[in-house]
Amino acid sequence: MAARKTTSDMEPAAARRSSAALNGDRITAVYQKLRELIVSGRLAPGTRITEGDVVERFGISRTPVRSALQRLLQEGFIQATTLGRQARLVVSPLTQDDLDELFGLVGEIEGFTARRAAALPADRRAAVVQTLREKNGALAALAENPTPDPDRFFDLDFAFHGAYVQAGGGRRVLALHDGIAAQAERYARVYVSALTNRIPDSVREHADIIAGIEAGDPDAAQRAVQINWRNAAERLGEVIAKLGERGIW
């Protein structure tokens, strides 16, 4: 018969689990804070990031910092560059090619959620449509202002898309969307002030999304979302062509 484990025998295993959980919390905290700084633009494209600087900033050990940086690297928020023989990590630059890829991916993911939202029961679709109309109406009103607030534009547009994404997205899709959309958000935040004159274009394209969901037409809803993101990439691409890419060495 196997020997029965005593409380003292189990304490090391429990301690290891507790330590692992704590380390995981630290990794997540560092990752989330750094991602927030990158997405908001407070860590500008092209900014160099070192383990030492992050350790000093957050006052923690190198192990969770290294893991957090690895996750940001895998997700594309930072990238490795080589200067001579020296490798360094920098905040990923904002480029035309990256914009096209990101907005294309977001359009496909959100198109899928809009398709699912359009297939919801009528009462649930009606609730989504009401929210979409409210946000799009606020955008239309904002467009009438001679000097629209860029932050207000971003917030309303973000809320509009979030309404059908949350309604039609499952756990896996929402997790995937979170990482990709946050990277696309970097472009919107940096260049949005140069896009306020294009708010009416967004309003018209949003109206097509609303119509597809309200009609319970998954194909139309999905297509309208894909077109909206494709056109958004073109509009933003025009701005980048004028103002330049950011963070290029």
Nearest to 32 by CA among 220, 146, 178: 178
Q: Which fold has domain 13-91?
A: Arc Repressor Mutant, subunit A (1.10.10)
pLDDT tens digits along 4-24? 555 455 456 544 444 444 456
- Extents of the domains making up the chain: 13-91, 96-243
Per-residue pLDDT at 4: 55
pLDDT at site 18: 46
Superfamily of domain 96-243: GntR ligand-binding domain-like (1.20.120.530)
pTM of structure: 0.84
From the CB of residue 39, how many other CB atoms can be counted at a distance below 10 Å?
Answer: 18
pLDDT in tens, 181-232: 999 999 988 899 999 999 999 999 999 999 999 999 999 999 999 999 999 9
Confidence of residue 25 (pLDDT cuts 50, 70, 90): confident
13-91 and 96-243: identical CATH topology: no
